[in-house]
């Protein structure tokens, strides 16, 4: 089962990385089309849309995945279909209302030229909720393939349609130009997310109808059925804490911005430094964290199932395996980003005035990748165990400490921007500690320190030394950045896993959850 979780997480992680790459690539031609002004109008509308989506239907896939997995484990198949029906009703009421209200209140939520893009985005709130229901349903059946494919399809159509509609919308205004053309381009760009979600939804509906006979189990069902009222209560009970916990996570950056602006100032230099932190460091930090998010999503159904069956031993094994695999990936990712901070920043954010600051921040702040990855995973595990309020509580406690630390560092030290990076890492660390403590209390789970943390750290240090030698050696010879960077990453991955497989060669069962690990270790020992 643990191996299956890793496999499903891998599929989600690959899809997530692919989606992020597409998202990053299409922004450049869109900006060239509609100008920075148009992107500004679009961003104002999109931020409000994202917030409303978060409050209305963001947590639906997690809730459905958990509830259905529990019912499948105890063979309450009629309840599975009831949960699916109730989820659609919930989205029709909550998601539909949110879409209509956002459309009507758009002039109050944004100003000027951002109103039309927001109104174009409003139906996407409802459609995203419906798509989330299907994704949660398939995830509960422990398959993330359809979710992953739908995410890729959604992003591809989003990119194509956003650029295409932006081009069409600005054509009548090409001669006049100005703000009207930028606004028209922003409106065209706003069509993309809606079409992307719609195509993704159509794909999921087709897959559901195609697999319906296999997914709907009618053999020897449990006679017990929950009432629709009870099921709605279950959904709301799970959804609400997840929404608030996610809001707390998203509030950190917003609160940090206000604190930083109040203490440091809002002059152009300070604004530029803030852009380095939020637009570069945080963005790069979140890329490898997507691996932990995928593991969290994939783990929820299996952990919910075993816990509902009161199989504590199997539950602990799922937890142990998920954390171990996540650490095997995130620790070397953090070390690699730290060692290669300069070329990464140089390629992605080559502005001369900020390169040095960005590089140092990424190099020193890379432990935050591990902390936020582990906190993301343990949040999902706690939710799978039914402790949906615990991640919210722990996030709120950590946020209070974060505020105090941030203010003190900004006011009484010369660290400036680096104070935010330090406080950010400490926040992630504290959430990890609080979540782990609760996991131990609930499940009596104990993570093996040496194999989970120490061996990946030692392997990553060796990898980091080799990577540094390879990159800077090749850079000195070629005076190029991209090719030495790619080669250094490839060699680093090989070196890391060779060392890991060497450490585990006498205990291959410890890596059994990783696909093909046993075969690799066998060949390694043979040679």
Whole-angstrom Cα distance, residue 135 to residue 122? Answer: 21
Tell me what the mean pLDDT of segment 419-444 comes to: 92
For residue 516, pLDDT beyond 60: no
> Residue 264: which residues within 8 A CB-CB, separation 6 or more?
270, 273, 410, 416
Tell me what the mean pLDDT of segment 232-242 comes to: 82
Tell me what the mean pLDDT of segment 493-499 comes to: 91
Q: Which residue has the higher pLDDT, 275 or 125?
A: 125
Quote the pLDDT of residue 358: 86
Across 144-153, 281-290, 514-523, least confident range = 514-523
Quote the pLDDT of residue 473: 94
Tokens 């295409």 appear where?
164
Residue pair 134/201 in contact by the 8 Å Cβ criterion: yes
Quote the pLDDT of residue 405: 94
Within 10 Å of residue 225's Cβ, how many Cβ atoms? 15
Confidence of residue 288 (pLDDT cuts 50, 70, 90): confident
Tell me what the mean pLDDT of segment 7-25 comes to: 76
Domain map (residue ranges) of the chain? 1-216, 237-447, 449-527
DSSP class of 277: I
Quote the pLDDT of residue 520: 54
Alpha-carbon distances, residue 332 vs 347, 360, 453 (angstroms): 21, 18, 11
Residue pair 301/66 in contact by the 8 Å Cβ criterion: yes
Half-sphere exposure of 368 (CA within 13 A, CB side): 22
Per-residue pLDDT tens over the stretch 204-226: 999 999 887 776 665 555 556 77
> pLDDT > 90: what percent of the chain?
35
For residue 518, pLDDT beyond 60: no
Within 10 Å of residue 116's Cβ, how many Cβ atoms? 18
Across 98-112, 235-249, 362-376, 400-414, least confident range = 235-249
Quote the pLDDT of residue 485: 93
Tell me what the mean pLDDT of segment 40-49 comes to: 81
Whole-angstrom Cα distance, residue 431 to residue 355? Answer: 30
DSSP class of 377: H
Quote the pLDDT of residue 366: 92
The full DSSP string for 174-210 is: TTT-HHHHHHHHHHHHHHHHHHHHHHHHHHHHHHHHH
Length of the chain measured in residues: 527
The full DSSP string for 433-451 is: HHHHHHHHHHH-----HII
Quote the pLDDT of residue 259: 86
Quote the pLDDT of residue 330: 92
Quote the pLDDT of residue 204: 94
Whole-angstrom Cα distance, residue 29 to residue 24? Answer: 10
For residue 527, pLDDT beyond 70: no
- Tokens representing 512 are 């059994």
For residue 464, pLDDT beyond 90: yes
b/e map of 16-44 (b: 16 or more CB within 10 Å)? beebeebeeebeeebbebbbebbbebbeb
Quote the pLDDT of residue 495: 93
Tell me what the mean pLDDT of segment 58-67 comes to: 82
Angle at which helices 341-348 and 482-503 cross, to 10°: 140
For residue 310, pLDDT beyond 60: yes
Per-residue pLDDT tens over the stretch 103-132: 999 999 887 888 999 999 999 999 999 999
100: part of which helix (H) or strand (E)?
Answer: helix 96-104
Q: Which residue has the higher pLDDT, 151 or 245?
A: 151
Look at residues 211, 198, 212, 210 and name the one whose alpha carbon lies nearest to residue 153.
Answer: 198
Confidence of residue 494 (pLDDT cuts 50, 70, 90): very high
Look at residues 285, 343, 284, 323 and name the one whose alpha carbon lies nearest to residue 451.
Answer: 323
Within 10 Å of residue 196's Cβ, how many Cβ atoms? 26
In Å, how far from its chain's centre is CA 50? Answer: 14
Tokens 């403590």 appear where?
437
Across 151-165, 306-320, 448-462, 474-488, least confident range = 306-320
Quote the pLDDT of residue 283: 76
Confidence of residue 388 (pLDDT cuts 50, 70, 90): confident
Residue pair 316/445 in contact by the 8 Å Cβ criterion: yes
Within 10 Å of residue 360's Cβ, how many Cβ atoms? 16
- Tokens representing 134 are 């299907």
Confidence of residue 171 (pLDDT cuts 50, 70, 90): confident
Look at residues 256, 275, 282, 260 and name the one whose alpha carbon lies nearest to residue 410.
Answer: 260
Q: Name the CA radius of gyration of the chain, rounded.
A: 24
b/e map of 227-255 (b: 16 or more CB within 10 Å)? eeeebbebbeebbebbbbbbebbeebeee
């Amino acid at each position: 089962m643990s191996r299956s979780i890793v496999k499903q997480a891998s599929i989600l992680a690959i899809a997530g990385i692919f989606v992020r790459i597409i998202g990053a690539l299409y922004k450049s031609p869109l900006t060239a089309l509609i100008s920075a002004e148009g992107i500004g109008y679009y961003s104002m509308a999109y931020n409000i849309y994202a917030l409303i989506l978060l409050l209305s239907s963001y947590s639906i896939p997690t809730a459905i995945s958990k509830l259905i997995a529990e019912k499948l484990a105890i063979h309450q198949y009629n309840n599975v279909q009831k949960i699916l029906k109730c989820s659609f009703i919930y989205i029709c009421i909550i998601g539909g209302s949110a879409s209509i209200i956002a459309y009507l209140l758009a002039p109050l939520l944004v100003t000027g030229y951002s109103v039309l893009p927001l109104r174009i985005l409003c139906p996407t709130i409802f459609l995203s909720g419906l798509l989330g229901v299907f994704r949660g349903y398939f995830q509960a059946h422990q398959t993330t393939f359809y979710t992953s494919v739908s995410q890729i399809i959604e992003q591809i159509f989003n990119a194509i349609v956003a650029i295409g509609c932006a081009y069409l919308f600005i054509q009548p205004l090409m001669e006049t130009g100005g703000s009207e053309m930028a606004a028209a381009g922003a409106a065209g760009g706003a069509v993309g997310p809606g079409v992307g979600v719609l195509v993704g939804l159509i794909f999921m509906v087709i897959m559901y109808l195609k697999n319906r006979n296999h997914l709907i189990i009618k053999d020897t069902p449990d006679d017990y059925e929950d009432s629709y009222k009870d099921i709605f209560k279950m959904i709301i009970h799970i959804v609400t804490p997840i929404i608030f916990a996610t809001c707390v996570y998203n509030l950190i950056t917003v609160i940090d911005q206000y604190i930083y602006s109040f203490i440091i100032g809002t002059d152009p230099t300070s604004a530029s430094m803030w852009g380095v932190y939020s637009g570069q460091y945080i963005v790069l930090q979140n890329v490898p964290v997507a691996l932990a998010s995928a593991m969290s999503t994939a783990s929820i159904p299996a952990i919910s199932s075993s816990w509902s069956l009161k199989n504590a031993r199997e539950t602990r094994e799922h937890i142990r395996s998920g954390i171990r695999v996540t650490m095997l990936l995130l620790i070397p990712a953090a070390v690699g980003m730290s060692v290669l901070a300069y070329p990464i920043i140089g390629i992605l954010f080559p502005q001369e005035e900020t390169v040095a600051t960005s590089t140092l921040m990424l190099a020193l702040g890379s432990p935050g990748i591990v902390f936020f990855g582990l906190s993301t995973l343990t949040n999902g595990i706690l939710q799978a165990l039914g402790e949906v309020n615990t991640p919210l509580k722990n996030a709120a406690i950590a946020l209070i400490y974060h505020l105090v630390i941030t203010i003190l560092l900004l006011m009484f030290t010369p660290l400036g921007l680096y104070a935010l990076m330090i406080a950010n890492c400490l926040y992630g660390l504290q959430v990890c500690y609080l979540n782990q403590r609760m996991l131990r209390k609930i499940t009596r789970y104990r993570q093996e320190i040496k194999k989970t943390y120490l061996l990946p750290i030692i392997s990553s240090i060796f990898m980091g030394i080799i990577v540094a030698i390879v990159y800077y050696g090749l850079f000195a010879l070629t005076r190029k950045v991209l090719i030495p960077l790619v080669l250094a990453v490839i060699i680093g991955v090989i070196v890391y896993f060779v060392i890991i497989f060497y450490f585990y060669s006498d205990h291959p069962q410890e890596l059994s959850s990783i696909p093909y690990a046993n075969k690799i270790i066998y060949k390694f020992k043979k040679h």
